[in-house]
């Protein structure tokens, strides 16, 4: 009997099955096998006996919906927020925090073994938080009409149905408060929410950013067009009612798109930036600048990168994908000179300003692709003793890796938000003679499946 015939004869949609959960996928879904055929079930945990309903069946695997937990895992905890489960913002909240940290360590190990083909690597225990709630310093919230009333919230998973939310649990409470104040003012002044089906209305998204240490708040109104009805009245009440507000920004996004922000940005009131501190330095952060979502854990991540690099003050360092210079400026305190590049021009201008604010002069920023600038510096015979990289989720560009191998630094400190692409890139570097010395996972996103890592690679000279 072929596999397809086996499934056709034995499994069908809406069928109820019982099974023992064996593992978790890297996305945090329970894995149960029936006669070797795997099902992925959201909300199920290893060691549990469960009953589930088949919701989708394929040739090689199926998806199930958890109906009942017959025997619970010792790591199961009561969920705090069912809306967080429905929207996918807190997919691991049924797993104890201690077990979440162990799960993330395993995700990193599996990626380096399965994708990187590394054997017998030591993965350090995941660095977690003492209090993993209310950590997010940024919110991007859709604004929509629900049952005739303007609401703010999150979309139900795999849909564009907005679920109204007032307490997000993992966001800074001051951000939650600001969202509700703006929501109520939009209702008061009858400013229409965006309708994505008809491509009508005004306010598409509400973005709130907060300095973890400074307390400063920036509110960004993402609108379909430049004109916002009763704007002056809206601004006046926002200024009066939102504590620690320093900036109100308008971003215009006229396109039919799922992309949140458009290309036009205006400062409606206050500063064009907000400030925060990290590693005892002050940073200015503009509306579209990247700044780590979890400030205290980002400090631990960057401090780990600096400690791992073991700088003695004599080194010339390269910091690729530098953003607004958070890690760059911290490295500069321990190095002779730091060269850095970032593709977002606005971020580079902010990085230069941040260097000036913190009176750090041994840094050199350039705007452009990391692979282009490294190739250029190689041609200019600029040699880097240590290279730090913190790329986006897609990992390092192949041309950058090629130029990095040509550069031949003694140490590479690879900070990553995606263990899969990090493992792939580390294998390419291993083929060029680099050895992984350490891998440290850091939890910047409690209750989600995401994990950051710091890997140190060295080369025998």
Active site residues per annotation: 417
Q: Is residue 289 part of a domain?
A: no
Domain assignment present for 407:
yes
CATH number, domain with residue 28: 2.40.50.140
Secondary structure string (H, E, C) spanning the chain: CCHHHHHHHHCCCCCEEEEEEEEECCCCCEEEEECCEEEEEECCCCCCEEEEEEEEECCCCEEEEEEEEEECCCCECCCCCHHHHHHCCCCCCCECHHHHHHHHHHHHHHHHHHCCCCCCCCECCCECCCCCCCCECEEEEEEEEECCEEEEEEECCCCCCEEECCCCCCECHHHHHHHHHHHHHHHHCCCCECECCCCECCEEEEEEEECCCCCCEEEEEEECCCCCCCHHHHHHHHHHHCCCEEEEEEEECCCCCCCCCCCEEEEEEECCCEEEEECCEEEEECCCCCCCCCHHHHHHHHHHHHHHHCCCCCCEEEEECCCCCHHHHHHHCCCCEEEEEECCHHHHHHHHHHHHHCCCCCEEEEECCHHHHHHHHHHCCCCCCEEEECCCCCCCCHHHHHHHHHHCCCEEEEEECCHHHHHHHHHHHHHCCEEEEEEEEECCCCCCCCCEEEEEEEECC
Together in a domain, 229 and 270: yes
Same domain, 32 and 142: no
At 461 the pLDDT is 65
Whether residue 76 has pLDDT greater than 80: yes
Residue 96 lies in a domain: no
300 and 437, same domain (yes or no):
yes
Q: Are residues 350 and 405 in the same domain?
A: yes
108 falls within a domain:
no
Comparing 1-10, 187-196, 287-296, which segment has the lowest mean pLDDT? Answer: 1-10
In a domain, 92, yes or no: no
Is residue 372 domain-shared with residue 313, that is, in the same domain? yes
Question: Same domain for 352 and 372?
Answer: yes
Q: State pLDDT tens for residues 78-118.
A: 999 999 989 999 999 999 999 999 999 999 999 999 999 99
For residue range 221-269, list pLDDT tens digits in order: 999 999 999 999 999 999 999 999 999 999 999 999 999 999 999 999 9
How far apart are alpha carbons 251 and 274 in whole angstroms? 16
pLDDT-derived band at 3 (thresholds 50, 70, 90) equals very low
Based on the fold, state whether residues 249 and 376 are members of the same structural domain.
Answer: no
Q: Is residue 377 part of a domain?
A: yes
Calpha distance 116→20 (Å, rounded):
30
**Does one domain contain both 14 and 144?**
no
Residue 396 shares a structural domain with residue 434: yes
- Specify the CATH number for the domain of residue 358: 3.40.50.150
CB 340 within 8 Å of CB 332: no
Nearest residue to 301 (alpha-carbon basis) of 413, 429, 449, 173: 413
Residue 41: band (very low, low, confident or very high) from pLDDT cuts 50, 70, 90:
very high
Is 235 part of a structural domain of the chain? yes
Structure tokens at 359: 């009176």
Q: Indicate whether 158 and 118 sit together in one domain.
A: no
pLDDT bucket at 4, cuts 50 / 70 / 90? very low
Domain end among 253, 278, 303: 278
Q: How many domains, in total, are found in the chain?
A: 3
Instruction: Say whether both 272 and 305 belong to one domain.
Output: no
**Model confidence over 111-142: pLDDT tens digits?**
999 999 999 899 999 999 999 999 999 999 99
| pLDDT given at position 10 | 81
Which tens digit of pLDDT belongs to each residue from 408-429?
Answer: 999 999 999 999 999 999 999 9
Query: 120 and 7 share a domain?
Result: no
State the CATH number of the domain containing residue 260. 2.40.50.1070
What backbone torsions phi and psi does residue 44 show, to the nearest 5 degrees?
-95, 150
Cβ neighbours around 190 below 10 Å, total: 9
Arithmetic mean of pLDDT, 161-173: 96
Over residues 325-350, the pLDDT tens digits come to 999 999 999 999 999 999 999 999 99
- Give the count of alpha carbons within 13 A of 446, CB side only: 22
Last residue of a domain, one of 278, 302, 337: 278
Domain containing 220 equals 138-278
Strands 37-42 and 217-223: unpaired
Q: Taking a C-beta distance cutoff of 8 angstroms, is the pair 232, 247 a contact? A: no
Would 99 be classed as within a structural domain?
A: no
* Model pLDDT for residues 367-378, shown as the tens digit of each residue: 999 999 999 999
pLDDT (mean) for 144-160:
94
């Amino acid at each position: 009997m072929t596999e397809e015939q086996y499934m056709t004869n034995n499994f069908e949609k809406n069928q109820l099955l019982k099974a023992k959960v064996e593992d978790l996928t890297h996305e945090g879904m329970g894995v149960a096998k029936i006669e070797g055929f795997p099902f992925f079930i959201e909300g199920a945990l290893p060691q549990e006996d469960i009953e589930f309903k088949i919701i989708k069946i394929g040739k090689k695997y199926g998806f199930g919906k958890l109906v009942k937990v017959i025997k619970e895992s010792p790591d199961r905890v009561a969920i705090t927020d069912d809306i967080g489960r429905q929207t996918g913002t807190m997919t691991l909240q049924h797993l104890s925090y201690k077990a979440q940290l162990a799960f993330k360590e395993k995700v990193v190990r599996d990626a380096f073994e399965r994708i990187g083909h590394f054997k017998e690597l030591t993965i350090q225990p995941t660095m977690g938080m003492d209090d993993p709630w209310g950590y997010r310093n940024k919110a991007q919230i859709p604004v929509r009409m629900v049952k005739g009333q303007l609401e703010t919230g999150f979309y139900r998973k795999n849909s564009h149905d907005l679920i109204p939310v007032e307490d997000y649990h993992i966001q800074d409470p001051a951000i939650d408060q600001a969202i509700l104040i703006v929501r109520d003012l939009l209702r008061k002044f009858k400013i229409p929410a965006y309708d994505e089906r008809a491509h009508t209305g005004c306010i598409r998204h509400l973005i709130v950013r907060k300095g973890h240490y400074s307390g400063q708040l920036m509110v960004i109104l993402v609108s379909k067009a430049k004109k916002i009805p009763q704007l002056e009245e809206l601004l006046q009440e926002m200024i009066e009612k939102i504590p620690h507000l320093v900036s109100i920004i308008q971003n215009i996004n006229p396109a039919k798109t799922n992309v949140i922000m458009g290309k036009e940005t205006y400062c409606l009131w206050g500063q064009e930036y907000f400030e925060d501190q990290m590693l005892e330095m002050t940073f200015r952060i503009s509306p579209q600048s990247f700044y780590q979502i979890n400030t205290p854990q980002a400090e631990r991540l960057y401090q780990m990168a600096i400690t791992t690099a073991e700088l003695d003050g004599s080194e010339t360092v390269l910091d690729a994908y530098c953003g607004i210079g958070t890690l760059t400026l911290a490295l500069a305190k321990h190095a002779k000179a730091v060269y850095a590049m970032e593709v977002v021009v606005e971020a580079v201008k902010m990085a230069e300003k941040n260097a000036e604010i913190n009176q750090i002069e041994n840094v050199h920023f350039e705007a452009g692709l990391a692979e282009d600038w490294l190739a250029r510096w190689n041609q200019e015979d600029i040699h880097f003793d240590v290279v730090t990289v913190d790329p986006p989720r897609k990992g390092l560009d192949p041309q950058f890796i090629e130029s990095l191998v040509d550069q031949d630094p003694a140490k590479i400190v690879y900070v990553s938000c995606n263990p899969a692409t990090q493992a792939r890139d580390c294998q390419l570097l291993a083929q060029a003679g680099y050895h992984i010395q350490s891998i440290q996972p850091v939890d910047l996103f409690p209750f989600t499946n995401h994990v950051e890592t710091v890997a140190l690679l060295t080369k025998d000279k």
